[in-house]
């Protein structure tokens, strides 16, 4: 029996449009990041994938300062090598109404579609809460799974579970571990392959 294992590594950046830096400072960093990313991907075919996870506003911001790179960026998106989440901006769910979340996704989808679309999974990694209608909203956009790490109690929510809204809509929910946030290499591949502790029962 073969002991060979295959790992899929997805490069990415947790992009804060305005947090540690002003929006203007972040925009300068974004321009450098995406400029270099386009160059690397055009030169290295084995660099398969990069996730721009800050929402489609990241595309908008970049192309506002680099409109000449629109088609180069679009080509990498259409090839599936650069991807984005469906949100226009990543929301803080506890501070906005459900309708605002739907509008946010609609705007994000409208922006992502000309670039080949977005990742077909929910992504609310930085929200400090997950609303009860989240599965219903995601399901309405054709999503079947979602990822988060903040706003889910690790003592009550297992790493892999079903998230159900009051209307009965369900999606698979993947929770990153609180202690390491997005550092999933250890807790997912290591637990599964070395410690054999990856949760196998997805029915809870």
Give the pLDDT confidence score for residue 35 in this predicted structure: 97
Q: How many CB atoms sit inside 10 A of residue 45's CB?
A: 8
φ, ψ at 11 (rounded to 5°): -75, 155
Give the pLDDT confidence score for residue 156 in this predicted structure: 77
CB 148 within 8 A of CB 121: no
Give the pLDDT confidence score for residue 204 in this predicted structure: 38
Give the pLDDT confidence score for residue 203 in this predicted structure: 38
Residue ranges with strand state E in the chain: 11-13, 50-52, 82-84, 122-123, 145-148, 160-164, 170-175
Q: What is the pLDDT along the chain (204 residues), one digit of tens a residue?
A: 778 877 777 788 878 888 888 989 999 999 999 999 999 999 999 998 999 888 999 999 999 999 999 999 999 999 999 999 999 998 888 888 889 999 999 999 999 999 999 988 888 877 777 888 889 999 999 999 888 877 676 777 777 888 899 999 999 888 775 554 455 544 455 555 555 554 443 333
Give the pLDDT confidence score for residue 21 in this predicted structure: 87
Please tell me the number of Cα atoms within 13 Å of 1 on its side-chain side.
Answer: 2
């Amino acid at each position: 029996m073969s002991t060979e294992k295959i790992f899929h590594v997805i490069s990415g950046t947790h992009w804060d449009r305005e947090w540690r830096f002003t929006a203007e400072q972040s925009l300068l960093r974004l321009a450098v990041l995406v400029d270099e990313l386009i160059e690397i991907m055009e030169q290295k075919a084995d660099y398969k994938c990069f996730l721009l996870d800050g929402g489609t506003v990241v595309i908008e911001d970049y192309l506002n300062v680099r409109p000449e790179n629109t088609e180069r960026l679009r080509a990498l998106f259409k090839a599936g090598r650069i991807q984005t989440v469906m949100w226009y901006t990543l929301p803080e769910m506890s501070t906005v109404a459900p309708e605002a979340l739907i509008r946010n996704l609609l705007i994000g989808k409208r922006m992502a579609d000309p670039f080949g679309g977005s990742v077909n999974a929910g992504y609310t990694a930085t929200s400090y809460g997950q609303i009860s209608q989240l599965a219903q909203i995601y399901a309405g956009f054709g999503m079947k799974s979602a990822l988060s790490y903040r706003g889910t109690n690790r003592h009550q929510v297992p790493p892999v579970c079903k998230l159900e809204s009051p209307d009965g809509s369900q999606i698979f929910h993947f929770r990153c571990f609180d202690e390491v946030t997005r550092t999933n290499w250890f807790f997912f591949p290591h637990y599964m392959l070395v410690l054999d502790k990856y949760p196998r029962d997805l029915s809870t």
